[in-house]
Structure formats: structure tokens, C-alpha cells
Amino acid sequence: MISYGHHQFPGKLFVVEGTDGSGKSTQLALLHQWLKAEGYPVFFSEWNSSPLVKDTTKRAKKRHLFTPATFSLLHATDFADRTERDIIPPLKGGAIVLADRYIYTAFARDVARGCDRAWVREVYSFAVKPTVAFFFRAPLDVAMDRIVSSRPSLKYYEAGMDIGWSDDPEESFKIFQGKILEEYDRMVSEFGLTVIDASRSIERQQREMRLLISQHLNNKRRGKGY
């Protein structure tokens, strides 16, 4: 089993991180389109999307079956399936893989929920280290507004209701997101995350991302003779 930082693949892995409402998914979608238009082979992997695991996750969320440890492990199971099937093979094939959320999401959430910091990193130690990991930093109140306005109500685990920070979902969510942001900030130096100021315009952020990414691309386009 090869561990984080020790994989050597011809492909490139770019991931986006940040709280919901930070604009990361929009930026990733724009990047995806651009890379395809430029002729690169691109694959995309989304958080919590493994066909083998996502039904179990959905059921558990609905029936409130999780503890901090099992929440962490089931999400790691989903991630392992995507790593084995959707991330590693294309990277071995020299393609570009984009991921919306990565292991840092787990680290931030699970630690905020009370899991041991070292343990959670051990669990995910099989993950491929990204070529670049973007962290979209948005001020907490901006992200909060976007999330709260985009949904009719906050979901149980999303608000961290099982932890017992507050009986009020919005209050609980705010506390949860605050802790998550603290973890993200620590991880910037720990993992060398590339911080993108999410308060700037969409175009400005995209330009910055494309510039950074181009430095890592060396003509892996689909040529005419491919």
C-alpha cells in the first residue's frame, strides 16, 4: 500500500476545498470546461459519490446512525472506493483528475466533531497527494448567508446536531463551521494548501487558478494522432 506523498503517477490531481458557499464548485466546473476545451483528458470525482457506499451514507444520515468515528470511517470508505476506481487509474493513465472536496474536508469535519487528529490522518494515509490543493477561503458570515439562504432548513449532521453544541440548528451550524474553518486554517501550512481569496470576483479567481495549474501541465493534450 503506497501512502500519501509517495505515489508517482504521470497524471495530475487538482482538488478544491472550502466550506459550502465558498464558490469552490463553481470554480472547479469552470476549470473543468477550460481543460476540456484545451484538449486535456479530464476526469472528475465528487465527494460522497461512490455507488457502493452512498446509499449506506444516505440511510445513516436519515436515521441518525452516526457517531463521530463511524461518520469518519464510512466517508473514508466512500473515498477509498473512489480512490481505487476513479482517481488512481486515470492518474496512472496520465490524465487530469479533478476532485470537489478531498481528504482535508474529512480532516476538518471529523476533528471538529471530536475525532483524534492523528487517527483521522492515519485512516486516510492511502490517499494520493494532490498536485495542487486549492482552499477557497471565504469569511464565515458570507458562507453562512449563502448556505442558509440556499436551503429551506439545515440537515441534522450538516449542523452537527448530534454533537450537542446547541439545540438550535443555525446556532449549532455556526459553531460547527467556525471549528471547521479553524482546522482548515491550520492545514494550510500543514499540507501546503493554496489559498484562494473567495471574496474576489469569479473571473479573478478563475484566472489565478488557471495560471497556477498551467505551471503543472506539460502538453498532455489529446493530439490529432491520439
Partner 1 sequence: MIVIEGTDGVGRSTHTALLRTWLESRGHAVLDTGMTRSVLAGRGIKEAKTGHTLGRLTMQLFYATDFIDRLENEMLPALRAGFVVLTDRYIYSAMARAEVRGIDSAWIRSIYSMALVPDAVFYLRISSAQKLVERVVSSGRGFDYWESGMDLGLGEDFYDSFIAYQTRMLKVFDRMSSEFGFHVLNASRSVRSVALDLRRAISKLIEEPANPTEHNVRPLIPLKDKPAAAKPSSNVIDLNKEALS
Return residues touching partner 1 (CB under 8 A): 1, 3, 50, 52-53, 55-56, 60, 65-70, 73-74, 76-77, 80-81, 83-85, 114-116, 118-119, 121-123, 125-126, 163-164
Query: Which helix (H) or strand (E) element contains residue 140?
Result: helix 140-150
Min dist CB 73 to partner 1, Å, is 4
Instruction: Report phi then psi at 125, rounded to 5.
Output: -65, -10
Min dist CB 69 to partner 1, Å, is 5
Which one, 49 or 125, has the nearer CB to partner 1? 125
Min dist CB 157 to partner 1, Å, is 13
Instruction: Report phi then psi at 60, rounded to 5.
Output: -65, -40
Any residues with CB less than 8 A from the CB of 124 and at least 6 apart, and which? 4, 76, 79, 103, 106, 107
Which one, 42 or 53, has the nearer CB to partner 1? 53
Which one, 120 or 144, has the nearer CB to partner 1? 120
Min dist CB 163 to partner 1, Å, is 7
Nearest to 20 by CA among 173, 165, 152: 173
Instruction: Evaluate whether 123 touches 73 at the Cβ level (below 8 Å).
Output: yes
Min dist CB 142 to partner 1, Å, is 31
Which one, 3 or 214, has the nearer CB to partner 1? 3
Which one, 81 or 208, has the nearer CB to partner 1? 81
Q: CA–CA separation, 125 vs 9, rounded Å?
A: 17
Measured in whole angstroms, how far is the alpha carbon of residue 28 from the centre of its chain?
11
Q: CA–CA separation, 140 vs 142, rounded Å?
A: 6
